[in-house]
Structure 1
Amino acid sequence: MNKVIIGETKKQVSGYSAFIPNDFPPTSKWDFSQSLLLKHSTAQRLVGKLDGVTQQLPDVDFFLSMYIRKDAASSSQIEGTQATMINVIEAEAKTTASYPADVDDIQHYIKALNYGLKRLEKLPLSLRFIRELHRELLAGARATQFSDPGEFRRTQNWIGGTSPANAHFVPPPPDAMYKALVDFEKFIHNRGELLTLLKVGIAHAQFETIHPFLDGNGRTGRLLITIMLWIEGLLEKPVLFLSSYFKKHRSVYYDRLNGYREGEVEAWLDFVLDGVIEIAGQAIETARHISEIRQEDMAKIGTLGKTSAESGVLVLRRLYSLPIVNVNTIMEWTNFSTRRGAQKVIDRLIELEILEQKDKSVTYGRSFIYRRYVDAFMDE
C-alpha cells in the first residue's frame, strides 16, 4: 500500500506549526496489501472464536467486569498511572484504606465505559456521545482542573515540550479541529465501506491525531476502540480490549501513531491487527481456564456438608465479580450476623485452596484473594 496522505504540517499565524488533517477519509480508495488482508482474516476469525467461547460462559458478565478493570488499569497506566487492577478491586471491596490515589483514574475509566455501553441504547455513536464519554471519564476525577470535561477544546494543545513551538506533535488548531471532527463523525457512521477491524484501527489513529480535548484524549480514544468493536457487531459482549497490548508495546504504539500521520497507514493497521490476534487469543485461553477453575472449585465445595456447601457456593459465585474480600464482605453476602461465622466460611475456602490471605504479614484487618481466578487475568 502506498502512503496515504492524512494531512500536513502548516505554519500558523502565531508562528508555530500544527498538523492540519486533509478531508477524511481520503478521496482515493483504500488499497491495502494482500498480506494485511490475510492478517485481518486471521484476526476476525479469532474475534469470532472469542465471541463463541464467551457466550458459553455461565457468568460472562463477571468475565467482562474483570476485563473492564484490566483494560481500565492498562489504559490509565499508559498515561502514567501507577495503580493496578488489584488496587481497583481492593478499592471496590473496601478491604483497605491505603491504596494509591490514582486508583481514581482507573475508577473513572470504568465508570465511563459502563456509562458509554449503556448510553448507546439511546444515543448513536456521535460527537455528542464522545463528549459525554469524556465528561464521565474526567468529571470529578483526581486531576481535572485543566481538562474541561465533556467539552471540545477552544485553544491549541500540544504533545511533548513546553509549548507548541517545541512540541513533539501539535494537533490541529480549533477551527481545523472542528472540520476534522465533522469528517470523523461521518466516517464512523459509514458502514460497509471498510472491513470492521481496519475501520476501528483507522478511527483510533484519526481521533488521536485530531486530539479534540485538553486532556484525556488517549483514554477516550481507547474507550472508543472497545465501543466500536462492539457496536459494529463483531461481538455479542464487549470483551475485546487492546489497552494491555498498547501498554506492553507502548513505544511502538506511539511510533506507529506518528507514522500514521506521515502516511504509514498500513504499518499502523498491521500493528493493531497483531494486537487483536494476540489479545483475542489470550482472552480465549482465559475464558477456557476460568471455566476449568470454576468446575474444579465447585467440585471442591461439593465435598462439604449441606449447610457449608450452600454458603460456599453463594460466596464462590460472588467471588467471580469481586475476588478480594474480608470478613465484612462475607457477612454482607451471607446470612451470618457475626464475624466468627463469616470467618468460618473463609477458613473453609482457604482449606479448599480457593481463597488465600492476600498479605501473609497482616494479622489485623486481613483480606483474602481468589488467587487462581485473579491470576488468570493478569498480564504474562
Structure 2
Amino acid sequence: MNQLSVGWERCAWEAAPDTPMSRRERAAARGTYLASIPPAISGMDFDIASDVAAEAEDALLEISRFDAELAAALPRADGELAPLAVVLLRTESASSSQIEGVTAGAKALAIATLNESSGQNARMVAANVEAMQKAIDLADDLSTASILAAHQALMHDQAYALPGRLRDGQVWIGGGPTPHTETFVPPRWERVPALMDDLVAFCRRTDVPVLTQVSLAHAQFETIHPFNDGNGRTGRTLVHAMLRRSGVTRRLTVPVSAGLLTNTDAYFTALGSYRAGDPAPIITQFSRASFAAVGNGRRLVSDLNAVYAKWQQDLTSRRGSAARRLLPHLLSQPAVTVKYIQEHLAVSQPAAQRAVDQLVDAGILRQISTGKRDRAWIARDVIAALDDFATRAGRRS
C-alpha cells in the first residue's frame, strides 16, 4: 500500500429503528462498516513528478504576481487597501460555497452583507466571507484553534454543525442514511483530534513547495472531515490562510475556488486519487485552478476599472463630496443604505441622502426596495461585473 493511501477499519453500526429507509437500504445497513484511517503526513516525504511540481511552481509565481500588480489597481476607500481585496474575498467565498451547492448571486450577497432581508443561501455565503476573513486574519497563528474559529464564523447559526467544535460522531459522504454504502467514510471521530494536530504540523513545515503543500493540506483536511458540516468551505479557507502565511499573498484573496469550479468533477476525482495514494491529481487541479483564477480576476478588475472611470465622468458633484467619496465603497459593497453611508463616510443623514440622490440622478445607483424605512440602493454596473465573473467561473448567478 502506498504510504499516503488511507487504511480502513471495521466499525460497529446499528441504525436507529425509526430511521427512514427502504428495505434494501436497511438490509445493506446491517453489521459493520468500513471507516478510513488517514495516514499521518506531518513528517512524510512526497515524491512528486517533476512536471507536476514545475506546473505548481509556475502557478505559485502567477498568484504572487497577481497579488503584487493589483495592490493599487482600484481607487482606495478611506486610505485602506483597494476595494479589490474585499471584492475578491467575496467572489472566492461565493465560489467556495457553490462547490457545495450553495449559490447566491452578487446582488443577494451584497444585500446580505448589509444585514438586510435576504435569502438563506445569501446569508450562508455571507457567513463564508466572514469565515474566510477569520482564517486569513489568523494565518500567522495557524492551529487547530484558528481552524475552529473559522468554522465557528461559518456555521455560527447552525447548531447541528457544532460550530467551532470537532465532530463527535461518524459522518459520511454520499447522502445515504447509513455509512455502509457511501462514496467515502471519514475516520471515526475519536481519531480526529490527533489527525488535526498532525495536519497543523504539516501546514507549518517550511521544506515543502508552497502550492504542493497547500494542495496536500487541503486534501488531507477533506479526508479527515473534522466537522459535522461545513468541511469543504472551511477547508478552502485553510488554503488562503496558508498562502497568506507563506507570504505568497499579502493583499488579496486569489479566487482559487472559482478556478476549481471550472471542473468540479475533476476536483472531486482528485480528492479520491489522493485518498488512494496518488497526490499528483490534486496538485494539478490546484495549479490549473490558480491559473484560471488569476485570469478571471484580471478580467474582473479590468471591468471594475472601466465602471469606475465611467462613474467619474457621469457624476457631476464636486470633488470631495460625499457622493464622490462613496464611489470606491460601491466597488466592494454595491448595495447601500443611508445608514451605511452615514457610518462609512461619517456624514449626517441629510448629507448621506443627498449623496444617494446625486448618484441616482447620475444613473449609478438604483433603488431596490420600497418604503421609507427599508430603502436600499444597488450599483448595477458592479453587480453585472461580478455576475460576469461568476459566469466565467461556471457558477450560476
Distance 1:324 1:74 in 2: 20
Distance 2:249 2:300 in 1: 17
* Percent of pairs with identical residues: 24
Give me the TM-score of the superposition, normalised by structure 1. Answer: 0.84
Matched, 1:117 2:129: no
User: Alignment partner for residue 124 of structure 2, among 84, 94, 105?
Assistant: 105
Q: Is the 8 A contact 2:334 2:383 kept in 1?
A: yes
Letter in 1 for 2:278: E
Matched, 1:219 2:249: no
Q: Is the 8 A contact 2:139 2:241 kept in 1?
A: no
1:24 paired residue number? 41
Distance 1:5 1:173 in 2: 18
Give 1:310 shift.
Answer: 2.7
Matched, 1:51 2:67: yes
Letter in 1 for 2:8: T
Q: Is the 8 A contact 2:139 2:242 kept in 1?
A: no
Distance 2:351 2:58 in 1: 54
Q: Is the 8 A contact 2:136 2:237 kept in 1?
A: no
> How well do the aligned residues superpose, as a CA RMSD in angstroms?
2.8
Distance 2:353 2:200 in 1: 58
Q: Residue 198 of structure 2: SS of its match in structure 1? A: helix
Per the alignment, do residues 305 and 106 of structure 1 end up closer, same or farther by CA in structure 2, a change over 3 Å counting? Answer: closer
Letter in 2 for 1:125: L
1:172 paired residue number? 187
Q: Would you say how many aligned residue pairs link Structure 1 and Structure 2? A: 361
2:4 paired residue number? 5
1:1-380 equivalences under 5 Å are 5-14=4-13, 15-25=32-42, 27=44, 29-57=45-73, 58-59=75-76, 60-93=81-114, 97=117, 99-120=118-139, 124-139=141-156, 141=157, 144-160=158-174, 161-191=176-206, 193-301=207-315, 304=316, 306=318, 310-325=321-336, 335=348, 337=350, 341-342=354-355, 344-350=357-363, 355=364, 357=366, 368-377=377-386, 378-379=389-390, 380=392
Distance 2:221 2:9 in 1: 19
Q: Is the 8 A contact 2:92 2:253 kept in 1?
A: no
Letter in 1 for 2:40: D
Q: Residue 8 of structure 2: SS of its match in structure 1? A: strand
Letter in 2 for 1:168: T
Q: Decide which moves more: 214-223 or 326-335.
A: 326-335
Q: Is the 8 A contact 2:151 2:164 kept in 1?
A: yes
Give 1:17 shift.
Answer: 0.3
Letter in 2 for 1:117: I
Distance 1:184 1:44 in 2: 21
Q: Residue 186 of structure 1: SS of its match in structure 2? A: helix
Q: Residue 165 of structure 1: SS of its match in structure 2? A: coil
Per the alignment, do residues 374 and 53 of structure 1 end up closer, same or farther by CA in structure 2, a change over 3 Å counting? Answer: farther
Distance 2:130 2:288 in 1: 28
Query: What per-residue deviation string (whole Å, max 9, x for no partner) do you get for residues 27-54 of structure 1?
Result: 4x32222221231232122112202212
Give me the TM-score of the superposition, normalised by structure 2. Answer: 0.81
Distance 1:277 1:44 in 2: 9
Distance 2:192 2:352 in 1: 58
Distance 2:277 2:239 in 1: 21
Letter in 2 for 1:84: G
Letter in 2 for 1:100: G
Q: Is the 8 A contact 1:49 1:284 kept in 2?
A: no
Query: What per-residue deviation string (whole Å, max 9, x for no partner) do you get for residues 239-288 of structure 1?
Result: 21222233342222212111211122101111110001110222233334
Query: What per-residue deviation string (whole Å, max 9, x for no partner) do you get for residues 79-127 of structure 1?
Result: 2324333212013346x63x31232211221222223333446xx1011
Q: Is the 8 A contact 2:6 2:275 kept in 1?
A: yes
